[in-house]
Amino acid sequence: MATYVSRPAWGLRARSVTSARVAVPLGLALLVGLSLYLRTGELGTGYWIDEGLSVGIADRPLTEIPGVLRQDGSPPLYYGLLNIWMALVGQSERATHWLSLLFALATIPVAFWGARVVFGRRAAWIAAVLAALNPFITHYAQETRMYALVVLLGMLATALFLRAYTADERPARRWPVWFGLVLAAQLYTHNWGLFFALALFLAWLVLLWLAPSADRRQRLRDGALGFGLTALLYLPWVPTLLFQAAHTGAPWSRRPGFEELTEDVPHRLLGSSAWLVVLVAGGAGAVALVRAGHGRRLTAEGRAVLAVAIVAFGTVLLAFAASQVSPAWVGRYLAAAIPPFLLLSAAGLAAARGIGLFALIVVATLWFYDEPPTRKSNVSQVAAAISPSLRAGDVVLSTHPEQVPVLSHYLPDGVRYATPMGFVPDVGVFDWRDAVDRLRATSPQRDLQPILDGLAPGRRLVLVRPIIGDDLTSWRAPWTKLVRQRSEEWEQYVTNDRRFRPTSIYPPLKEKYGPKPLRATVLMKAEP
What's 461-503 look like in SS3? EEEEEECCCCCCHHHCCHHHHHHHHHHHHHHHHHHHCCCEEEE
pLDDT, tens digit, for every residue of 383-414?
999 999 999 999 999 999 999 999 999 999 99
Average pLDDT, stretch 427-450? 93
Task: Categorise residue 508: left if φ over 0, alpha if ψ from -120 to 50, beta otherwise.
Answer: beta
Residue environment code for 364-383, b if the CB has 16+ CB neighbours within 10 A, otherwise e: bebbeebebeebbbbbbbbb
3-state helix, strand, coil in the chain (%, to 5): 65, 5, 25
Nearest to 310 by CA among 337, 292, 288, 291: 337
Which residues contact residue 509 at a Cβ distance below 8 angstroms, ignoring those fewer than 6 apart?
519
pLDDT, tens digit, for every residue of 341-384?
999 999 999 999 899 999 999 999 999 887 766 668 899 999 99
Q: What is the pLDDT of residue 5?
A: 46
Nearest to 337 by CA among 515, 141, 134: 134
Q: What is the pLDDT of residue 250?
A: 79
Query: Contact, 463 vs 494, CB < 8 A?
Result: yes
pLDDT greater at residue 248 or residue 324 = 324
Q: How far apart are CA 62 and CA 83, in angstroms?
A: 7
pLDDT, tens digit, for every residue of 197-214?
999 999 999 999 988 888
3-state secondary structure at position 296: coil
Q: Highest-confidence range of 164-173, 236-245, 295-304, 503-512, by mean pLDDT?
A: 236-245
In the predicted structure, residue 514 carries a pLDDT above the cut 70: no
Using CA atoms, how far residue 229 sits from 233, 234, 272, in Å, is: 6, 9, 38
Lowest mean pLDDT among 73-87, 175-189, 234-248, 296-310: 296-310
Average pLDDT, stretch 424-446? 93
Average pLDDT, stretch 458-479? 86
- The confidence band for 248, taking pLDDT boundaries of 50, 70 and 90, is confident
Sorted by where each begins, the domain ranges of the chain are 2-368, 379-525
Q: How far apart are CA 398 and CA 462, in angstroms?
A: 8
- The confidence band for 12, taking pLDDT boundaries of 50, 70 and 90, is very low
- Tell me which fold the domain 379-525 belongs to: Rossmann fold (3.40.50)
Q: How far apart are CA 346 and CA 366, in angstroms?
A: 16
User: Percentage of the chain with pLDDT > 90?
Assistant: 72
Q: How far apart are CA 185 and CA 196, in angstroms?
A: 12
Query: Contact, 453 vs 370, CB < 8 A?
Result: no
φ and ψ at 396, to 5 degrees?
-105, 115
- Mean pLDDT for the chain overall: 90
pLDDT greater at residue 161 or residue 517 = 161
Q: What is the pLDDT of residue 253?
A: 81
pLDDT, tens digit, for every residue of 258-290?
888 888 899 899 988 898 899 999 888 888 888
3-state secondary structure at position 417: strand
Nearest to 451 by CA among 492, 486, 416, 413: 416
Average pLDDT, stretch 434-445? 93
Q: What is the pLDDT of residue 18?
A: 54
Q: Which helix (H) or strand (E) holds 519?
A: strand 518-525
DSSP H helices in 59-92: 65-72, 77-89
Lowest mean pLDDT among 76-85, 455-464, 483-492, 501-510: 501-510
- The confidence band for 109, taking pLDDT boundaries of 50, 70 and 90, is very high
3-state secondary structure at position 422: strand
